[in-house]
Structure formats: structure tokens, C-alpha cells
A and B are shown apart, each in its own frame.
Chain A
Amino acid sequence: MLDANLYEEELHPTPLGATWREFKQRHVAVFGLVILTIFIIVAIAGPLLSPYAPTTQHTNTLLIPPAWDDNGSILHVLGTDALGRDMLTRLFYGTQVTLFSSIVTVFIALGLGVAMGVVAGMSKGLRSSFINHVLDILMLTPTLLIAIIIVAILGTGLTNAMLAIGLALVPRFVHLTRDFVREEMNKDYIKTARLDGANLTQVFLFNILPNMVELLIVQGTLAISVAILDISALGFLNLGAQTLMPELGVMIAEGLSTVYIAPWNILLPGLTIFLMVLSINIVGDGLRSALRNRLTH
């Protein structure tokens, strides 16, 4: 690999680029990325790809098994549910609802978490102590409990479930940011910047944040997988998205009533969640090792 080495010295790839190079060398990780990309495409283009609407009830084709079964129909490739709704269509929409709501949740939690983490990391004394303490309690409280409390106060619904999961995710970003900022603040390049007259906001935006991006990407990716699991679990427990919404957890809960005559009604949505989470975990894990490798080299 003499060429590659030469290249690297000539090009001086950006840190992000270097991480990407490391990542590319992991075949499993790339495979995970491909699957994840397929999921994202499905989530975006699902409404265009799907032959039916997710709520259309084909009342004369109820509980049709998937096409590979003897009783299956090519019109409904993955079968239909107890109301005659096309399974494939519902999986497309379900992927969309579950994946996007998780991503939005994580983005909001990340934004909030980083902001609070910076304050906690740059401040000292009582304020820092207070933020940390409240966050620790939040972190110690199981997600499901937070969700139960929010549902009790605000009622059920996807938005409330997202709020609960977002709240539960904030502390991990705060801790991450706080520790990172603390560590960096003592480094020479920050001191140099401070001596140059940069204020704290500038130091964060121009010096610390660029160094944090990769860390946030890795943690954010892994948080998305947690959010997917939690959103679908709340949907399954009827505490999140409500019936009629094609959310994957809700679909599993609905499929329960016909699980013996139509097991695909719980197997397929579950498999979708599983594959989605798995691909995100593979990508996140790949990114993390790539980052670690780049930093140790």
C-alpha cells in the first residue's frame, strides 16, 4: 500500500475524511451502511414506492399471507393484516414514521444536550453542580418511567413519546459535551485562542465544536438506534403513537390479536425494527472504531 501512503502525505485529508477512510476498510460496517441507506431511501420514497395507501382496507382480501406462501397473492407481496391493509405499504410507512421520529428526537436531544453540556463544561461551581445533578436524576430515571409521567400529564401520542425519549437522551449528550469541553479547555490551543481575545462563544464555535463533530456523529448514530427501540416499545405498549398510525411498534401490538392465523403480522414489523437498529448499530460501531483508530495512529 505504498501508493496510499504517498497519497495521504500529499493530500492531508481532513479528520473527517480520514475517519471515512478507516470506516471504508471495514466491510461489515459498509454493508451496514448500505442497508441503512436502503432504509432511509424507503423512508423517504416509501409513499412513492408503495402500491396502496397505508390505511386502505381491502375488505375482500383479509389476512392474506405473504406471496411466497401457497395462499399468498402477488398483489400483496408481504400479505395483508386483519383489516386488509397491505403489509408492504404499511412497512414502508412504518419505517418512515419510526425512523424519522427517532432521528428528529435525537437531533433535538443533541442540540439541547450540547448546549447544556457547553454551559456545564465552561461554568464552575453551583450552576454546574445544579445542572449536573438534575441531569443525573434524569439519566437514572428509566425511559419508560419518564414516558409514563409525560403520558399521564399530556396524554398519549407520538409527539409526547418523542418528548419523553428526547428527555431521556439529553443527559448522555450533556455528559459527552461537558467532559469533552472540560478536557479541551485545558489544552494549549484553547488557551492560545483565549489569549487572542476570543470569548467563550467563539472558542466553542470555532475551536471546540469542529473537534467534537465526529464524536457527536458517533453518539448521535447510536442514540438513534436507542430512540427507535424506545419509540417502537412505547407504540407497542399503546403509550406512544396511536392505533391507525403505521408505526412499527403499534403494528406489532395490532398484529397480536391474529398472531396464530397471521404470524407475519408481528414477525415482519419486528424484523424491520431489528434490521434497522442492527444496521444503525453496525454503522455506529464502525464509526466509533474508525474514529478510535484514527486518533491512536
Chain B
Amino acid sequence: MITTLIRYFNLTFLTLLILVMLSFGLAYFFPGDPIINLMGTNKLDSQPFLMLSSQQTNIFMQFWYYVQALLAGEWGVSFATGKPLYQDIMRLLPATLELSIYAVTIALILGIPLGFLAGMNYHKKIDNIFMSSSMIMYSFPVFWLALLLILLISLQAQWLPMSGRLSLLFNVPHYSGFILVDILVSDIENKRFAFNNAVQHLILPTLSVSFIAFAVFLRATRRSVADVLETQYIKSAQTRGLPGKTIFFRHVLRNALLPVLPILAVQISTLVTNVMIVETIFSWPGIGDWLIQAIYERDYPAIRTGMLLVSVVVVIITMSLECISQLIDPTRDRFAYARR
């Protein structure tokens, strides 16, 4: 177990290092002066940046100072606003995480039980209904789905708001960046009302993201349940006359859930893409909306840092999920090649 942990730690560290190198390299690929692309301006006076921009520094030393600057939270400033990127990203990242976490939670809470239901009724009516509807669900282009929801629910029915994460009239102080948490810890008036308002703003974006993720989880769970039910050990358990309850909880549940975790890991990157698209449509003030604005404005420091941060978060989450599933089920060994 310790070896697994160490191995994953090393792997994550290496991956992060490569990502940092890539982001450093990007500054050279983007049009314009690489040093300006790294810092966003030539008027910074922090120590690592001064060293970075000095003429004598060779490229390896530059990289070293760049890493130092990154670790010190000196991420340069945005071309577009002239403000430090660190502040911007720390404000926006929680909004994205919040949306993703709620969407994944809903997709899992609904997808896994329904997937079990479908898998236990493999090739029966209920299974067929679930399979065909989930097929329809994940064929939706996410941006079209979001637009349809806005058209029907926000504009036609006028049930829910269509943009932002909270009515701008509320001035909730920044605490954790998670809007629901921030409202609960704040001491504004009408806290309850603000909370409701935030939830109303959350529903449509969350629904758009979880709609597709739900279908994927449902199908994955159903497949894995069906596979487990076909195995010899379930059959032998039945022959031995174990009660159905025991078979289900001791064998089916655990073994069928195991493959779902890695699928969740693989889905993270798709999920992030969808979250970013949904953010732009619902003007959700998260990192995706911000990055897409940055590309419109050719804000290279913002693109570089945003890309680095998002991929670092994705890598850490994916690696942790992989690591956990490996710890639970040591027979799986997706990264076997890295051990050789």
C-alpha cells in the first residue's frame, strides 16, 4: 500500500513537472516576447521575476526562477486587466469547482443506483428504457442543451434565472469562493433569501453538466453490474445457497462499483470541457468563462496560467481517484508500465 502511494505520488509529481515545463514552453510558442508572456508586464518588481527578466539568465535558470515564482504565488499579471493572475484565479477556481462538484454529485447519486437497477434487469424492459434514454442524453451537444434549458425554463416559463451565480444585488463577502458556503458564513441580511437565490442560479448549469455525466455513469454502472452477475463467483455463491441479500452486498455491490471509480477518473477531462462551455453560456464567473474570454483577448499570461491551473487540478483529482481505486482493488494496474 505504501509503495502504491509513493508510486502515485511520484507519478503525480512528474506529471506536474511536465505541465509546468509545458506552460513555460508555451510562453515561447505564443506570439510576442516570451518574458512578457510569462509575466504579463515588464514592470514587476518581485525577486524571481527580476531574475527571470535579467539579460544574463539562461533558459534553464529562467525555468528555475519561473518555478520559484509559481510557488511563491507570483503568477504574473493579465494583459487585459493588469491585475495579478493569482487573485483572479483564486477567485474563479472555486466557482468552477463548486459547479463541477454539484454536477458530479447529482450525476453519481442518480446514475449509480439507476445503473444498478438497469444492470440487475439486464436486457429487460426497464434496462432497455434506461439504455435508450441515456443514449439520447449523451448525444446532446452540451451547449445546445444549455440553450434549450434557457429558452424553455428561463425565458418561456420564467422559473429560473439564466446567468451568474447570485443576483448581483447581493454583496456577499468572499470567504471560501464557494457561493453557498460564503452565504452561510456571511452576516448579510436575508441570508435565507440569498441562499435560495444562489440555488436557483445553480440549478440550470448543474443540470446541463450532470445531464450528460449522468448518462455516462448510468451506462458504466449498468455494464459493470451486468459483467459481475455473469462471473463464476456469483454463480458459485448462488449454488452454495447464499441468501440473495448476502450475495448482493458482499459480492455484487463491491465488485460492480470498483470499475466505476476509474471511469469517473477518465470522465473528469470531458466533464471539465463541458463545465467550461456551460460556464460561458450561463455567464458563470468561473475559470472556463474566464479562459475563453482570455483567448478572445489574446491574454497570453492568463491562458498560460489558467491552462496550468486547470490541468493541475484535473491531474491531481484524476491521480487521487486512480490511486484510491488501486488501493481498493490492487489487481487493477493501469500504470504498470511506469513501474518497470
Contacts and interface: CB of A to CB of B under 8 A. Distances in A.
Interface string A143-180: 11100110111000000000000000000000000000
Contacts of A136: 15
Nearest to A237: B292
Give the size range of A's interface with the partner: 35 or more
A128 B338 CA distance: 9
Interface stretch (A39-47, A55-63, A69-77, A228-236): A228-236
B143 A28 contact: no
Interface in B99-148: 132, 135-136, 138-144, 147-148
Contact of B338 (A132, A142, A232): A132
B18 interface: yes
Interface in A213-264: 225, 229-230, 232-233, 236-239, 249, 252, 256, 259-260, 263
A124 interface: yes
A129 B318 CA distance: 19
A4 interface: no
Interface string B281-321: 00000001001100110101001000100110011001000
Nearest to B219: A285
Contacts of A137: 15, 18-19, 311, 315
A246 to B, nearest CB: 16
Given A152-B295, A152-B300, A233 B338 contact: no
B269 interface: yes
A190 interface: no
A152 B298 contact: yes
Nearest to A271: B144
Given A133-B338, A149-B26, A273-B144, A237 B280 contact: yes
B185 interface: no
A274 B140 contact: yes
Contacts of A140: 15, 268-269, 311, 314-315, 318
A232 B142 CA distance: 10
Interface residues of B, number: 47
A152 B280 CA distance: 18
B340 interface: yes
B273 A225 contact: no
Interface stretch (A16-24, A100-108, A275-283): A275-283
A139 interface: yes
Contacts of B270: 142-143
A281 B138 contact: yes
A270 B148 CA distance: 10
B335 to A, nearest CB: 8
A215 B142 CA distance: 27
A14 to B, nearest CB: 27
Contacts of A238: 296
Contacts of B273: 142-145, 230, 233
A129 B276 contact: no
Nearest to B291: A148
B29 interface: yes
Interface centre among B29, B141, B292, B338 (most CB of A within 10 A): B141
Given A129-B337, A133-B338, A142-B269, A153 B139 contact: no
Given A145-B307, A153-B29, A252 B143 contact: yes
Contact of A281 (B139, B276, B298): B139
B316 to A, nearest CB: 10
B90 interface: no
Given A132-B338, A143-B269, A225-B139, A152 B30 contact: yes
A132 B314 CA distance: 18
A238 B297 CA distance: 12
B303 A273 contact: no
A273 B144 CA distance: 9
A274 B139 contact: yes
Interface of A: 28, 124-125, 128-129, 132-134, 136-137, 139-145, 148-149, 151-153, 225, 229-230, 232-233, 236-239, 249, 252, 256, 259-260, 263, 266, 270, 273-274, 277-278, 281-282, 285
9 contacts: A129-B340, A140-B314, A141-B269, A142-B270, A144-B277, A230-B273, A237-B292, A252-B143, A266-B147
Given A139-B266, A142-B272, A225-B139, 10 more contacts: A139-B269, A140-B269, A142-B310, A152-B26, A232-B141, A233-B141, A236-B141, A236-B143, A266-B147, A278-B135
